[in-house]
């Protein structure tokens, strides 16, 4: 079997390989407040999620009502 060597990578590909080696060789540091920050963000997102869902449902119902009113008035 003949093993055909791969062509040498272009500049962008070699830079990507270099960056991946750098990232893969270092372990990210995690601060002591990491868990606290994640929990605080999750709570804030949860606090906004329910009211935004209600607002979205209201706006969808309003748009549907308006479209039915506009659709019915055009048929008369």
Q: How large is the average pLDDT for residues 23-49?
A: 89
- 9, 17 Cβ separation under 8 angstroms: yes
- CA 22 – CA 9 distance, rounded (Å): 18
What is the reported pTM? 0.46
SS (H, E, C) 17-62: HHHHHHHHHCCCCCCCCHHHHHHHHHHHHHHHHHHHHHHHHHHHHH
- CA 71 – CA 63 distance, rounded (Å): 12
Residue 65 pLDDT more than 90? yes
Which single residue is written with the structure tokens 């605080």? 40
End-to-end Cα distance, the chain: 81
Q: How large is the average pLDDT for residues 50-64?
A: 95
């Amino acid at each position: 079997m003949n093993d055909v060597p791969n062509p040498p990578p272009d500049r962008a590909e070699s830079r990507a390989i270099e960056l991946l080696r750098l990232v893969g060789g270092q372990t990210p540091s995690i601060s002591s407040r990491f868990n606290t920050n994640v929990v605080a963000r999750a709570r804030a997102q949860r606090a906004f999620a329910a009211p935004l869902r209600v607002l979205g449902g209201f706006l969808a119902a309003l748009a549907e009502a308006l479209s039915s009113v506009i659709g019915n008035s055009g048929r008369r």
